[in-house]
Structure 1
Amino acid sequence: MTYDWDLMLRLLREAQKPGNEAFAPRQYADEHAMAMEEAGKPMPNMDSLKAEAQNYESLLFEGGFIVTRPEEEGGNGENFVLTERGVRLRDMLEGDATYRQRLDEKGEAVLVPEVFDGVAAS
């Protein structure tokens, strides 16, 4: 299994936005699907995409890629900021395709902190 890195990147970018808006992975999945359609790509199954986005939120949080935004930065318990690990993942996903290939080679385990940190360091 490989991750939908474009959707993952969208979630990471949304997490880094300032403000006190609640993090809304299902909404971001909708917007991601619309962008795909506008780019001429087939429209994905929306229920699956929304569930995937919510799962990614959990994986990113549990893996230490995002943390709850501090109150002094507009945190409300429902929004996030990127950690150093999250910034590294975002940068890899924004980089050339070889980074995504290296991530894909590790399969689902790539978002386990120790596995990701090893990939990011190499």
Structure 2
Amino acid sequence: MDQPESLKTETAKPAEKSAKTAAATVVPFDQADGYTKVGPGPISAIRFRWTARRGDDGYYVDETVGPTSIAVSSGPMTADAAVKTVDARARAAIERFEALKNEMTGNGPFASAGRAET
């Protein structure tokens, strides 16, 4: 289903943005509903997604893992707080993913210490 240009979501892609260079996101108050970010990772079944939605008493952030999971919701909160929550959770996921990736490839903070012991 096509969405109007004003409601299209922004997706964080690890190849395009790193956690260190991600800038603050400015979303107009009336466009916070539907604001979405997707976490990093090679497998969609375990990839996190955060979506802000408007409820009767404020905004909520729905967090899902994979395309078929049941959402865990946080809220109610203001539109600005919902966008900041989505951004913060996506940024934290990118940082954790990068740390895990670096550890697995031997570029982590303990890489030199581990080599000295063997």
What is the TM-score with the length of structure 2 in the denominator?
Answer: 0.26
Structure of greater Rg = 2
Q: Which has the higher helix share?
A: 1
Please identify which structure carries the higher strand content. Answer: 2
